[in-house]
């Protein structure tokens, strides 16, 4: 009887760990290091907020208009509520007219969870990386994009819950884009001053004399 109780207690302790052992439901893309970071972020998110974050990174060639919500249902048995599922499908078709591919999906287990993160921020964290013109391979961009997007998702949920995460990754792309925007704005003001406002100011000043 005592041994049975011990086994039942151990099972009760270990089962939640097994259920949350991985936050990656499908992986056609990620390198081992990227997958490990995602699981670490997911573990911390769950331990501090009680919300699960899951990832599907697939190279499946989804057709135009493919329903990601319906697609996610075949993974429901592997997910524990409450959760937010992030889907990254770089080979998915967007339109029949344009050859550009790639879709991002965010599927919460309830409508209440939608207010805990910003969909645009999560999507842009992935899209900005993948669309960047640099020497990185598509594989590397996909890995970095998934990492940044999942990190943004986890950070958004954590902020909404009033907690801080230590495993997430700063979104360098977001700050770079912001910095470039500021520089462009300052440059525009400088050009406006040199070629429009300053000459007008000088003419008005000399006219008064």
pLDDT in tens, 26-37: 999 999 999 999
Q: The whole model's pTM is what? A: 0.72
Residue 19 has pLDDT above 80, yes or no: no
Task: Identify which has the larger pLDDT, 151 or 18.
Answer: 151
Q: In what order do the strands lie in the sheet with 101-108?
A: 24-27, 52-57, 83-93, 101-108
Say what percent of the chain tops pLDDT 70. 75
**Residue 79 near residue 119 (C-beta atoms within 8 A):** no
Q: What average pLDDT does this structure show over 115-141?
A: 89
pLDDT at 15: 41
Q: What's the mean pLDDT in 56-71?
A: 94
pLDDT of residue 188: 64
In this prediction, residue 176 has a pLDDT band, given cuts at 50, 70 and 90, of very low
The pLDDT, as a whole number, for residue 21 is 54
pLDDT at 10: 42
Task: Work out the mean pLDDT of the chain and round it to a whole number.
Answer: 82
Average pLDDT over residues 176-202: 61
91-97 mean pLDDT: 83
Q: How far apart are CA 209 and CA 201, in angstroms?
A: 13
pLDDT confidence of residue 1? 52
Strand locations in 20-108, DSSP E? 24-27, 52-57, 83-93, 101-108
- Residue 11, pLDDT score: 42
Burial track 104-126 (b if 16+ CB lie within 10 A, e otherwise): bbbbbbeeebeebbbeeebbbbb
Confidence of residue 16 (pLDDT cuts 50, 70, 90): very low
pLDDT at 100: 76
Split at pLDDT 50, 70, 90, the class of 17 is: very low
Q: What's the mean pLDDT in 149-168? A: 95
pLDDT for 203 beyond 60 = yes
Give the pLDDT confidence score for residue 77 in this predicted structure: 95
């Amino acid at each position: 009887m005592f041994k049975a109780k011990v086994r039942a207690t151990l099972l009760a302790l270990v089962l939640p760990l097994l259920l949350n052992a991985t936050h990656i439901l499908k992986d056609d893309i990620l390198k081992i290091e990227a997958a490990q970071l995602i699981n670490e972020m997911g573990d911390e998110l769950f331990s501090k907020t009680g919300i699960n974050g899951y990832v599907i990174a697939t190279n499946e060639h989804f057709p135009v208009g493919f329903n990601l919500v319906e697609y996610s249902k075949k993974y429901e048995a592997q997910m524990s509520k409450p959760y937010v599922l992030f889907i990254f499908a770089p080979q998915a078709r967007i339109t029949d007219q344009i050859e550009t591919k790639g879709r991002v999906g965010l599927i919460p287990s309830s409508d209440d969870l939608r207010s805990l993160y910003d969909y645009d921020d999560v999507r842009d964290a992935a899209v900005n990386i993948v669309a960047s013109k640099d020497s990185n391979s598509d594989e590397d961009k996909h890995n970095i994009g998934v990492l940044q997007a999942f990190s943004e998702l986890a950070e958004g949920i954590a902020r909404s819950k009033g907690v801080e995460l230590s495993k997430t990754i700063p979104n360098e792309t977001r700050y770079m884009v912001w910095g470039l925007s500021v520089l462009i704005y300052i440059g525009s003001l400088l050009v406006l001053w040199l070629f429009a406002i300053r000459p007008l100011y000088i003419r008005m000043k000399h006219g008064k004399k």
